[in-house]
Amino acid sequence: MTTDAARTAGLTPGALRKLIEDGRGPRLLDVRTSGEFRTGHIPGAYNVPLDTLREHRAELRAHLDEDVVLICRSGARAAQAEQALAEAGLPNLRVLDGGMTAWEAAGAPVNRGPARWDMERQVRLIAGSVVLLTGIAGVFVPGAHLIGTAIGAGLTFAALSNTCALGMLLAKLPYNRGPRVDIRTVVASLRDRP
């Protein structure tokens, strides 16, 4: 397992932007869901959702022989993708510091699509709603508040483990999926890039 100390250094939005503008840009793999990617992504990025990347990492490795920058919303999923690709033997990996949130805050270019709520906002809505409703229901139904307690425990675990089961479940909804990523198309694009 990769530790934070063993991880390769991240790349700031400013440093990545300079590399791209100078024509020395690395391959950009955006590991968010297809829906998130369609909402906004860095020009030239390839969308390979984290689950797809994990499943096809050996196949991707064969076509990623240069520097690769992994991108997600804030950096957590990109760090998981980095670990998966490193385990497959890919050495030239970096994570975009702060993810798309930092990229957009830096005023860097973004290809925009239809607006939608990002995954973190959806998780906050669902978790907050469950806690609120079970708290209110607990006044009338003894023990209902324990559901909210379970949600709180899940969110605490998500923070400590840097994973989010609720986010993973929400990513499977049609709203978040967008068109299915065809790994053969991604590999062909990677292979054909000059």
Residues designated catalytic: 72
Q: How far apart are CA 148 and CA 130, in angstroms?
A: 6
Q: How far apart are CA 141 and CA 92, in angstroms?
A: 55
Closest by CA to 72, choosing from 185, 193, 5, 164, is: 164
Q: How far apart are CA 166 and CA 119, in angstroms?
A: 10
Indicate the Cα dihedral angle 70, 172, 169, 100, nearest 10°. Answer: 30
Count Cβ neighbours within 10 Å for each residue of 69-108 and write b for 16 or more, e otherwise.
bbbbbbbbbbbbbbbbbbebebeebbbbbbbbbbbeeeeb
- What's the token pair of residue 49? 């959702």
Beta strands in 85-181 (DSSP E): 93-95, 111-112
Q: How far apart are CA 77 and CA 81, in angstroms?
A: 6
